[in-house]
Amino acid sequence: MKNSVSVRGLPTRTFRLLASVGLLMVLAACGTPTDPPSLALTAAESLQMRGWVPERLKSQVVLSPVTGGQPTGMFWGSKISNAALQEALDSSLRSTGMLALSPGAGNYQLEAQLVELEQPWIGVDIKVVVTIAYVAIEKRSGTVLYQRRLRSQYVAEFGSAMVDPNERMRLANEGAVRSNINLMMRDLIALALG
């Protein structure tokens, strides 16, 4: 069978192959934004933690604007935006009963900064590692009560989204952040109980 000549002298078969590879690369680079509710504590985690929250933390935590995130872009894959992380932290604090009822209320200010998001370029099972720096300050005195960089990871296995690697990346992002928030909330409770 003879190859017909196409664009700029390339054989049709070669041109189609190159076009297909190019299209796959563009599709692989497209990101799927994280879902803020999926970044937050699950209902079961919140319910379990709620029973351990000491009185001095109930309705006493004010959340500062989150920093360090980046929006999901068309060419650099799924990322975690400041708005998504803010919503997840707000929801987690609220569901455990720690969030202050109004911004002016509350004895403690919580700051969060997304420091690092480690993602693979490609993979069957996708492992994401996230590092978030937290600082809890007593508002009245300005004393730092809690300051930690927490590192957590999550693996989205191939079976969780077989067809779409972008979806697996999103799931891994969400799982890593949810785990990180869980660690921070447990630290705050333990600190307040101690």
pLDDT, tens only, 25-48? 444 445 677 778 889 999 999 999
Domain count, the chain: 2
Within this chain, do residues 90 and 110 fall inside the same structural domain, yes or no? yes
| Cβ-contact 106, 139 below 8 angstroms | yes
Mean pLDDT for 63-70 is 93
Are 109 and 168 members of one domain?
A: yes
Question: At residue 17, does pLDDT exceed 80?
Answer: no
CA distances to 37, 139, 141 from 101, rounded to whole Å, are 20, 15, 21
7 compared with 172, residue with greater pLDDT = 172
Together in a domain, 36 and 17: no
d(CA 37, CA 92) in angstroms, rounded, equals: 9
What pLDDT is stored for residue 28 in this prediction?
A: 46
Shared domain for 24 and 44, answered yes or no, is no
Same domain, residue pair 3 and 67: no
**Bridge partners of residue 135, in order along the sequence:** 111, 147
Per-residue pLDDT, 119: 84
What pLDDT is stored for residue 30 in this prediction? 56
Query: Do 128 and 174 share a domain, yes or no?
Result: yes
67 and 77, same domain (yes or no): yes
Distance of CA 166 to the CA centre of its chain: 14
Give the residue numbers spanning the domain of 36. 32-193
pTM attached to this predicted model: 0.80
**25 and 56 assigned to the same domain:** no
Of residues 72, 90, 88, the one with CA closest to residue 80: 72
**Is it the case that residue 103 has pLDDT exceeding 90?**
no
- Whether 100 and 145 map to the same domain: the answer is yes
CATH code (residue 68):
3.40.50.10610
12 and 107 share one domain: no
Backbone angles phi, psi at 52, to 5 degrees: -100, -10
DSSP class of residue 161 equals S
For residues 181-191, average pLDDT: 96
Kindly tell me if the per-residue pLDDT of 157 is higher than 80: no
Q: What is the DSSP letter of 2?
A: P
CB neighbours (10 Å) of residue 106?
19
pLDDT of res. 162: 52
Residues 90 and 139 in one domain: yes
Same domain, 38 and 22: no
Q: How many CB atoms lie within 10 A of CB 7?
A: 11
